[in-house]
Amino acid sequence: MSTTPFEIHVSDSKLERLRQKLALTDYPVETQSDSEDSWDRGPPVSEINRLAQVWQTSYDWRKVEAHLNTYPQFLTLVDIESFGTYTLHHIHKQSARLDAIPLLFLHGWPGSFLEVTKILEDLVRGVADGPAFHVVAPSLIYFGFSSAGGSKMFGFDQQAEAYHKLMLQLGYNEYVIQAGDVGGLVSRYIAKMYGPVHCRAHHTNTPTPGEPDAATHPELHAKILSTPLSESEQKGLARTAQFQKDGFGYYKQLSTKPRTISYSLSDSPVGLLAWMYEKMRAWSDNYPWTDEEILTWASIYYFSTAGPDASSNVYYAMEHSEPPAFAAAAAYVDVPLGISRFTNDLVLLPKLWNHSLGPIVAESEHESGGHFAAWENPDAIVRDLRDMFGRGGGAYEIAQSILQRSRTGE
């Protein structure tokens, strides 16, 4: 299968159609019970109206597009068993270091391949006394400039197969992963299906373990019962409960009837903007989003090859796989695991529960940062990966074995 260089180029006609749609938007009426800046019922009309005006009149997509095209991007064709051939858009930047470690970065929703751009240079460059990485960051199937999933349900087994085959086609027989959100679920499937032979270790900033029980994890279960929760863990459980109460409606919609909301997301750029920005704001740790960042994240979805709504299909697959994706991802996988915990993320379960996922070789906690760790706190993610794979780290020997085999051609 072929790999070809790629540059983003949105046609003038698509840009003009976006401006026309923005100009024709009908906005909801603000209710009397809403204050002008209240987010209780969702994004304030005044704020979305303001952003839409910026998007229509002064946001410079061509400048953003030119900047994105400074990153080395490619399209690679991969064959998925029983599904056919798919196009994967990806950033692929190789380190000048001969001892660099191949790393697959997998984004989530409502993010995109953009999330890797804040950590890319530091990972590729490395440090004198630490590791460097060859970084591959695809747009997931249904996202960005990759293919749509096709007429059959494109499940997480297929997602995992796609990015594993991408790494093989790029010459990386062994690799490690950093991932979060949807990408974090995919990374668990990759580890299960292709580790530890190919996927040698994986790192996540969004672990989602199930509660260990006495039948499957008797020793761990006993330890959990005898270990009091820390203050941080108590706060994490409270945040998790609040998210499930007030912030989980999107998941119920997308995992049951994604097509219903798809009409709005496909037709209305303002609808898409509000749908995404509400999560970007709520799921981050008071991150100071600029107008350009907000509109660039929305634009990647609006100009997506598969369509503005297509990413919704991954949530349907989460609940309609057998077993459901979260249950499958919570199973023990004997592939070394690193975890970064950001105390303002959405789902923050007791730390001991994570040991039901696999052999934990690196674990850290950060007081600053939310769901979009690589975007909000890139230094922390870079540092955690360096610690995990660097000298003295829990996956140092794994990194060295990858390098040894790559040198000998094994």
Q: What are the catalytic residues? A: 181, 316, 371
Contact 287, 372 (CB under 8 A): yes
Nearest Cα residue to 99 out of 314, 305, 304, 406: 406
Question: 303 φ, ψ to 5°?
Answer: -95, 10
Both ends of the chain: CA-CA distance in Å? 22
Q: Output the DSSP codes for 309-349.
A: TGGGHHHHHHHHSSS-HHHHHTS---S-EEEEEETTSS---
Q: What is the dihedral of CA 377, 380, 383, 387, to 10 degrees?
A: -150
The residues pairing with 202 across neighbouring beta strands, listed in sequence order, are 177, 337
Total residue count of the chain as it appears in this document: 410
Residues 18-23: contacts with CB under 8 Å, at least 24 apart = 18/55, 18/56, 18/269, 18/302, 19/56, 21/267, 21/268, 21/269, 21/270, 22/52, 22/53, 22/55, 22/56, 22/269, 22/270, 23/56
Question: How far is Cα 410 from Cα 408, in angstroms, rounded to an integer?
Answer: 6
Query: Is-contact 314 108, C-beta < 8 A?
Result: no
Six-digit token pair at 375? Answer: 């975007």
How far is 242 from 142, CA to CA, in rounded Å? 29
Residue 387 host element (H or E): helix 378-389
